[in-house]
Amino acid sequence: MNKKYNLTLMIPLSMILIAMDQLSKWIIVKTMSIGDSFSVIGEFLEITSHRNYGAAWGMLQNQMVLFYIITLLVLIMIVYFYKQDAAHKPVMQLGLTFVFAGAVGNFIDRLFRGSVVDFIDTKIINYDFPIFNIADSCLTIGVIILLYEILVNENKEKKNADISI
């Protein structure tokens, strides 16, 4: 029987993800000037020091108060969904943990730096993808996990419930 909430795994995981995000950003801030770049894997992957004063892809530039409010609301909603909907659902708990860590990581930047430190620069088939960071990756991974949980696992639960009726 699985636990209702697996906090002994999810809390340390979120702390590790946030620490990785903040450490990587600290290294970028301390060792690179804005705009500096170096190749990791040819043109496919570069580390480029960049600051984002907006949201994803630079939308809503310099709207920090709005981002503070939205982030706090999102964090409250994540905790609510964790408590209300994720009981006995370890995949949903994992997805929410990743989203939580990503939101906290970028919130720390906005709060203490006034911008988000981005540095992972990829080019995929001639498309120069927007520069991002570990917190952004956590948000993306978390959303993918949640979509999987909602679209695949919950459909299985509904089918199993229909069979047992």
What residues are labeled active site? 118, 136
Instruction: Please check whether residue 120 is in contact with residue 165, taking contact to mean a CB–CB distance below 8 angstroms.
Output: no
What are the CA-CA distances from residue 163 to residues 128, 141, 150 (Å)?
48, 32, 19
CA-CA distance, 74 to 68, in Å (whole number)? 10
Q: Are strands 45-52 and 116-124 parallel, antiparallel or unpaired?
A: antiparallel
**Helix 134-148 × helix 90-113 angle, to 10°:** 150
Residue 116: CA count within 13 A, CB half-sphere? 31
What are the CA-CA distances from residue 149 to residues 21, 67, 93, 95, 120 (Å)?
25, 27, 10, 8, 28
Amino acid at 102: G
